[in-house]
Amino acid sequence: MIVASAADEDTFYARSEDEVDALVNHIMEDLPQGSATPDGFSIIPEKAVVSIVKGKYPEETDERWESNCLYVSVNTKTGYGALRWYLLEPVEGSGEDHISRFIWTSGSKTPPQ
């Protein structure tokens, strides 16, 4: 299993347990936080996109796009974060109904303040 992550405008391919640990630590501790430009425009916090892939395209696989993505965003000051999981294609055997075709996002009834 290879874990690919796009963060900080780079793509990382974690192939060992130590590399996956380092990738998770980078996402949890080092992603740039939101700020503002000198003109006052908001800059949204950085997010990481994590996927399970067969290898680096095109050197190791002919699959150009991941079939699954986990968006991760973390506020390093509060320790809270958000996850959003989605699949690019429905899972084999899943329903063809409306709800099976969309991104699943859960919301907390008591979000951090």
Backbone angle region of 82, left / alpha / beta, with phi > 0 → left and psi within -120 to 50 → alpha: beta
Confirm whether 110 is domain-assigned.
no
Q: Is residue 107 part of a domain?
A: no
Residue tagged 């793509």 (tokens) = 11
106: in domain: no
Residue 111 lies in a domain: no
Domain that holds residue 12: 2-33+43-101
Residue 18 above 90 pLDDT?
Answer: yes
Whole-model pTM?
0.63
Q: What is the pLDDT of residue 52?
A: 84
For range 84-109, the mean pLDDT: 65
Number of domains in the chain: 1
Residue 25 located in a structural domain: yes
> Does 113 fall in a domain?
no
- Give the pLDDT mean for 83-100: 69
Tell me: cis bond preceding 32? Omega within 30 of 0 counts.
no
Report if residue 68 sits inside a domain.
yes
Q: Do the domain assignments include residue 75?
A: yes
Please, what is the average pLDDT of the chain? 76
Which ranges constitute the DSSP H helices of 8-100? 17-30
DSSP structure class, residue 98? G
Q: What CA–CA distance (Å, rounded) separates 39 from 52?
A: 39
